[in-house]
Chains A and B, each alone.
Chain A
Amino acid sequence: MFKNTFLKTIYDFRLSIFYWGMFFAFLLLFIAGAYNEVIVGADSANVLAGYKKLANMPGYPGGGAPDADTFGGFITFRMLGGVPLILGIFGVLAGSLIIRGEEDKGSLDLILSTPHSRTMVLLQKWAGMAVAIGAVVLINWLALILGLLIANQQLGFADMFLAHLNIWLTCLVFGSLALLLGQITISRRAAAGWAGGVLAATYLLDSLASSLRGLEWLRYLSPFYYYSLSKPLAPSVGTHWGALVVLAGISAVAVVVAVWFYNHRDHNNVYPLFFNRPKPLALQPQTRPTSLGLRGPFWFGLRSALPGTLIWGLPISLYLGLSIYSIDGVRGELTSLLKSELYRSQGFLPVPSDANLVSLSLALNLVVFTAYAVVQVVGWTSEESEGRLELILSTPQPRWRLLLTRYLVNLLASAITCITVGTIFSLIALLVGVKLDFSYILASFFGLWVVCAVIMAAGFALSAIRPGRSIALISGGLVVFFFVDSLGGILKLPDWFINLSVYRAYGKPLMGGVDWTPQFVMLGLSAVFVTIAVYFFRRRDIVK
Chain B
Amino acid sequence: MSTISTNQSQPRVGQNENAKGFAIYTEKLSKSYGTARGISEVDLQVREGEIFGFLGPNGAGKTTTIRLLLNLIFPTGGRATVNGLDSQRDSVEIKKQIGYLPGEFSLYPGLTGAQTLQYFSSLRGGVDWNYVLELAGRLELDMSKKFRQYSRGNKQKVGIIQALMHRPRLLILDEPTSGLDPLNQQEFYKLLQEARQKGSTVFFSSHIMSEVEKTCDRVAIIREGRLVRVGGLDELMGIKTQQLELTFAGTAPFAEIAALAGVSHLEKFMEGSHEALSCVAQSEALDSLLKVATNHHPINIATREPSLEEIFLQYYSNGN
For chain A, give the interface size range: 35 or more
**At the interface, yes or no: B133 with Cβ under 8 Å from chain A?**
yes
Cross-interface CB contact of B98 among A186, A289, A394, cutoff 8 Å: A394
Chain A positions within 8 Å of B, measured between CB atoms, are: 104, 186-187, 189, 281-286, 288-289, 291, 294-297, 300, 386-388, 390-398, 539-542, 544
Q: Which of B137-145, B232-240, B282-290, B294-302 contacts A (4 or more CB under 8 A)?
A: B137-145
Complex A-B, nearest 5 residue pairs according to Cβ-Cβ distance, in ascending order: A394-B100, A282-B144, A541-B73, A395-B123, A288-B129
Chain B residues, CB < 8 A from A397: 92, 95, 123
Contact B96 A396 (CB under 8 A): yes
Contact A104 B95 (CB under 8 A): no
Contact B95 A394 (CB under 8 A): yes
Contact B144 A391 (CB under 8 A): no
Cross-interface CB contact of A289 among B73, B115, B142, cutoff 8 Å: B115
Q: Mark B114-152, 1 if CB is under 8 A from A, else 0.
A: 110011101111000100110011000011110011000
Contact B143 A285 (CB under 8 A): yes
* Contacts A294-B119, A386-B106, A388-B107; A396 near B124 (Cβ below 8 A): yes
Contact A390 B148 (CB under 8 A): no
**At the interface, yes or no: B260 with Cβ under 8 Å from chain A?**
no
Complex CA–CA separation, A295 to B122 (angstroms): 5
* Contacts A296-B123, A396-B93, A541-B73; A285 near B144 (Cβ below 8 A): yes
Chain B residues, CB < 8 A from A539: 74
* Contacts A395-B123, A541-B72; A294 near B118 (Cβ below 8 A): yes
A136 to chain B minimum Cβ distance, whole angstroms, is 28
Complex CA–CA separation, A140 to B67 (angstroms): 48
Q: Is the interface of A mostly helix, strand, loop or mixed?
A: loop
Contact A391 B115 (CB under 8 A): no
A191 to chain B minimum Cβ distance, whole angstroms, is 13
Complex CA–CA separation, A191 to B245 (angstroms): 66
Complex CA–CA separation, A535 to B53 (angstroms): 36
Contact B148 A104 (CB under 8 A): yes
Q: Mark B66-91, 1 if CB is under 8 A from A, else 0.
A: 01001111100000000000000001
B141 to chain A minimum Cβ distance, whole angstroms, is 9
Contact A393 B72 (CB under 8 A): yes
Complex CA–CA separation, A11 to B65 (angstroms): 36
Chain B residues, CB < 8 A from A392: 123
Contact B108 A388 (CB under 8 A): yes
* Contacts A104-B109, A282-B142; A390 near B95 (Cβ below 8 A): no
Contact B70 A393 (CB under 8 A): yes
**At the interface, yes or no: B162 with Cβ under 8 Å from chain A?**
yes
Chain B residues, CB < 8 A from A542: 67, 72-73
Chain A residues, CB < 8 A from B119: 294, 300
Cross-interface CB contact of A395 among B72, B108, B124, B148, cutoff 8 Å: B124
